[in-house]
Structure 1
Amino acid sequence: MLLVTMVLTLTLTLLIEGYTQHMFGFQDDGGNPPQGPVDQVPPSIENGGPVISSSGSTPVSLTPPARTVVLTFDDGPDPTWTPKVLATLERHHVPATFFLVGTGVATHPELVARMAEDHDELGLHSFTHPYLPSLPGWQRTLEMREDQLAVAGAAGVTSSLFRPPYSSSADAVGNADWATMRQLGKQGYLTVLVTQDSEDWQKPGVRRIIRNATPPGSAGQVILFHDAGGDRAQTVAALDALIPRLEARGYRFQTVSQAFHLTDANRPASTGQHLLGVGLLWLLKGAVWGLDGLDLLLLFAGLLGILRAVISMIAAARHRRHARTAWGAPVTEPVSVIVPAYNESAGIEATVRSLVASDHPVEIIVVDDGSTDGTADIVEALGLPGVRVIRQRNAGKPAALNTGIAAASHEIVVMMDGDTVFEPDAVRQLVQPFSDPGIGAVSGNAKVVNRSGLLGRWQHIEYVVGFNLDRRLFDLARCMPTVPGAIGAWRRAALVRVGGVSEATLAEDTDLTMAFWRDGWRVVYEERAIAWTEAPASLGALWRQRYRWCYGTLQAMWKHRGAVRQSGAAGTFGRRGLLFLLLFQVLLPLFAPLVDVLSVYGLIFLDPVHVLLLWCSFLLIQVVTGAYAFRLDGERLGPLWSLPLQQFVYRQLMYLVVVQSVATALSGSRLRWQRMERYGSHQEPPLSPATGARG
């Protein structure tokens, strides 16, 4: 529900902002569409006056009285020029009629309120200033309804006066224009055209504007000016000179309703209309603020993404040079390997045989955690040397690992998953860092074995680029947050000291790793210790697995937040590792969907070429990072062809997992542990470097 609400709110915000700000715009009045056919326009309209009532069966047009001037202004309000026009009118004590664009009203409602207070008249000029005949009927109605509400919210009045954008005099009305007037006339609007156009939109100079707006005789006139849509300095100067000149000729200045003896052209809005109008104004203002906020978040997310890619690649290069040196004296002592198993019949044989084939002396302890599929029977039937099976009632993976720790005979303990296959040298490579007495745990290099399908390729890319590239950075910065459950080695004495594997979180491997840091141990990454693990083969299974991982990581971060205040290795981990997790595994995925939403917004409302170039730039960064990570891991670059496709499905799924995990954590709910389905994808005998399985 939270996710749906967020998506709908964001979509509504962008649609409102995009429609009001980018769907239509102001063009010069001279650029309006040609008149077209006129055979459906009644002669009384074509040859009549500028005010048209088209609500009845017989349309009526009105002509202004002699020596009467109606000053009308289109396209406002404008924060620069509307106040100057109003000041000029106030100085000369003359009223005017302003035909307002709804988007301008929403941006500057205080100017509309000032017009009403000054007893100027308000008319409607549509909400976004489109050419109305080109729109379907429902959209014309929407344009007028929203413009009406905006005026009601800003000034507390409604208006029955309407002027179509890009209109002029009655003799220029075509069939399409007349159809629009008829539709809106039935909705109660009077159409107000002009008799004289000052052509101030052309900026021809003050003298030319005055000449264009001066009546040729004593006939009454409805004169068109503009108080928005560009620089109106010539308009303001022309008004200052024109008004006293016409007054000297005996002209009087009136509003449309005064000149044509109309009643209720502007009348107080009802409480409901005013409240709806105020709500619309706040909604529009919120949409603008929301997009501004989204722009900042997008910038933040983009900088975080670029920063992560740059830091990861620099750190990986340094780590590669560091990894070429030996850890110290070779570690040759035997190792206990613990395999927790619950219903692992599909792959347990391949797992155990890979351990037996290890080139390092190992004790293999398979802890059957109440399996119902004969997992323990399969292991026992193999009759392999050095393999011991312990059966227990189902108590969960942490309990099975603790059982294995208690039964281990050796100081170094390797933990793995029941669906994982080790390469023959994996254990030997994994335990070499323990020659340093300050190292408490070692992370190995987990790879995806079932990578043939598209989903498998995407997870393969994530393991190589996301997990292993990050581990190199964590190792260099001494803040490794997770030793993966698939392949990791631990000091048994340290395990006992921290209380073993905790059941407090759903990410027991992350929780245990953080506990080691807080106990003063260092955790490192050994990329040469390779294990092959099964990845989920369906989107549903992937969602469940990553939901558990993410939620468990959030639990572990909260549990060990106190590391930030500690000193030594714990403090280093807390201030580096936890901050990294917060920025790049929580906040960045939360903000990243904004990139996709704003990309769609840009394709619809902005320049699609610019948006596509920006998107391709981000994709290029990912491809370069991926290629470098694949090279470090000795992988073929072939699977990277699916990286662009990954942006449209897999990436969104991972982001939504984070959103749901954060929402679950904030709600205080507790997620149950979910076991992944096994597929038996492993090759047998175990993989080795000689098989060329790196591709």
Structure 2
Amino acid sequence: MNFFITLAIFLVARQAFLLLAAILKKIKDRKARKLHNTQQPMITILMPAYNEENVIIDALESIATLNYTHYEVIVIDDGSMDNTSSLVSKYINDKTTTIPIRLISQSNAGKANALNTGLIHANGDFILAVDADAKLNKDCLLYGVQNFQDEQIGAVAGNVIVVNEYNWLTRFQQLEYLVSQNVVRQGLALFGIVPIVPGPIGLFRKSAMLAAYGYREDSKLFAEDADLSIRLLQLGWKITNDERMCSATEAPSDLFTLLRQRYRWKRGIFQALNDNFTKLILSPDIKRPLLAIFLIFETFLLEILGFGITLFMLANIIYTFSFHLLPIWLAVLITLDVMALLMAVPIKYFTKWLPILLLQKISYTYALQAWGMLALIDEWRATEMSWDKLDRIGIANKGSTS
């Protein structure tokens, strides 16, 4: 009993600490010096695409109007079987923007290979990797590149915004990005140890990517973004987060698609950590073994322990008819999440998200934690898995991230 209570106190303290760190990071971002046009370094935007005819033109139109002077766009068509390539070619020929846009077509070789192809042809000192349905806020590049005034920063994780909020499932995901992921990442960013730069939007120092040999091309690796992030941390680079660098995206709108996506994510993150763990733990630099322990805790143990404490408290109710622990545990967690929500959304939207937060905490969160543990068991058993691509219909580009 005392062990679980002590563990619960530790997890709550960790959450409160990260919330405070996230507030300090937000203050730090607001004080950051803006770069003038003459100081803006060249940025290459890489957009890998596979069967994205429904969304890619809207994405390019969004990217072509950013408030930034020196950037280029490279679209890598990874063997699409629809009209992706022809639509992009026509857009390039008809475009009125002065922003250089190039199309590279290749046989289907996977997202990691497509990104590496783009990296080889990139002229920029910094690389923004985005999905083919990206709709970026106008000042995305201005905000993101500010972070690289710190020469130790190797990458900046962006803020993913879910725009198809037309059912409870997609609202839960938006709230997850706002509170569980973005606020936690903001806290970790204060120390430069963000464990994953999300695939939909991540800005990298090109020299750091080259030092890490780019994205690892392995047909059995299902989280190339997590793998690259861990290797950058392993090399000693810092990874930060900037909530002002936003990209709209479509989230899975049905339960089956969401479960497939999260199953792949969880197994992919485990693969990335497992593949890099030995180098981290055996490094003579004491920071690397500590980083390995931190990554294991943040990506797996934290979730397992939190779920385990809840199960313990439920069992305590069943066997002792003592109801006081579980309500206290949930109340503390919800209080911390409410504080995070206050920080993550404008106050005028708080009343919209509060009831969704309460429902999410007692349903969606624990369901995904249980599903994630099943994914880890399957990875440990080496169960076969295939890459499932989310079919996009173009909703993301009807929203706004300005």
TM over 0.5: yes
1:631 deviates by 4.2
Tell me which of 481, 495, 510 is aligned to 2:209.
Answer: 495
Counterpart CA distance in 1 for 2:288 and 2:238 is 9
Q: Residue 64 of structure 2 aligns to which amino acid in structure 1?
A: V
Query: 1:211-236 deviations in whole A, cap 9, x for unaligned?
Result: xxxxxxxxxxxxxxxxxxxxxxxxxx
Distance 1:660 1:297, change over 3 A: farther
Q: What pairs with 1:48-59 in structure 2 (closer than 5 Å)?
A: none
Tell me which of 79, 82, 85 is aligned to 1:376.
Answer: 85
| Structure with larger Rg | 1
1:326 aligns with 2:326: no
Distance 1:510 1:338, change over 3 A: same
Residue 687 (structure 1) aligns with? 400
Find the residue that maps to 1:544 and give its secondary structure: helix
Counterpart CA distance in 2 for 1:616 and 1:435 is 41
Residue 658 (structure 1) aligns with? 372
Tell me which of 571, 575, 578 is aligned to 2:290.
Answer: 575
1:510 deviates by 1.3
Distance 1:405 1:591, change over 3 A: same
1:455 deviates by 0.8
RMSD: 2.6
Tell me which of 260, 280, 286 is aligned to 1:563.
Answer: 280
Q: Is the 8 A contact 2:175 2:353 kept in 1?
A: yes
Q: Is the 8 A contact 2:18 2:188 kept in 1?
A: no
| Gaps in structure 2 of 5+ consecutive residues | none
Normalized against structure 1, the TM-score is what? 0.52
1:477 aligns with 2:188: no
Residue 339 (structure 1) aligns with? 47
Distance 1:471 1:572, change over 3 A: farther
Q: Is the 8 A contact 2:165 2:171 kept in 1?
A: yes
Residue 442 (structure 1) aligns with? 156
Q: Residue 88 of structure 2 aligns to which amino acid in structure 1?
A: V
Counterpart CA distance in 2 for 1:441 and 1:591 is 29
More displaced 10-residue stretch of structure 1: 618-627 or 473-482: 618-627
Tell me which of 664, 672, 685 is aligned to 2:386.
Answer: 672
Counterpart CA distance in 1 for 2:263 and 2:55 is 24
Q: Is the 8 A contact 2:310 2:326 kept in 1?
A: no
Counterpart CA distance in 2 for 1:507 and 1:316 is 26
1:580 deviates by 3.5
Distance 1:584 1:406, change over 3 A: closer
Distance 1:584 1:402, change over 3 A: closer
Distance 1:449 1:598, change over 3 A: same
1:324 deviates by 2.3
The higher-RCO structure (CA 8 Å, 6+ apart) is 2
Counterpart CA distance in 1 for 2:3 and 2:251 is 33
Q: What pairs with 1:317-466 in structure 2 (closer than 5 Å)?
A: 317-326=23-32, 330=36, 331-360=39-68, 361-382=70-91, 383-384=94-95, 385=97, 386-466=100-180
1:302 aligns with 2:16: no
Query: 1:223-279 deviations in whole A, cap 9, x for unaligned?
Result: xxxxxxxxxxxxxxxxxxxxxxxxxxxxxxxxxxxxxxxxxxxxxxxxxxxxxxxxx
1:373 deviates by 2.0
Query: 1:139-178 deviations in whole A, cap 9, x for unaligned?
Result: xxxxxxxxxxxxxxxxxxxxxxxxxxxxxxxxxxxxxxxx
Distance 1:645 1:483, change over 3 A: same
Counterpart CA distance in 1 for 2:367 and 2:32 is 40
Counterpart CA distance in 2 for 1:633 and 1:412 is 35
Q: Is the 8 A contact 1:309 1:621 kept in 2?
A: no
- Figure out how many residues of one structure are paired with residues of the other and give that number: 391
Query: 1:583-629 deviations in whole A, cap 9, x for unaligned?
Result: 24312322444445445445555446535633552453344343334
Q: What pairs with 1:80-91 in structure 2 (closer than 5 Å)?
A: none
Q: Residue 354 of structure 1 aligns to which amino acid in structure 2?
A: S
Q: Is the 8 A contact 1:349 1:379 kept in 2?
A: yes
1:681 deviates by 1.2
Q: Is the 8 A contact 2:126 2:203 kept in 1?
A: yes
Distance 1:468 1:574, change over 3 A: farther
Distance 1:611 1:329, change over 3 A: closer
Counterpart CA distance in 2 for 1:567 and 1:318 is 32
Q: Residue 27 of structure 2 aligns to which amino acid in structure 1?
A: R
| Gaps in structure 1 of 5+ consecutive residues | 1-294, 690-695
Residue 301 (structure 2) aligns with? 587
1:298 deviates by 4.0
Normalized against structure 2, the TM-score is what? 0.88
Distance 1:362 1:643, change over 3 A: same
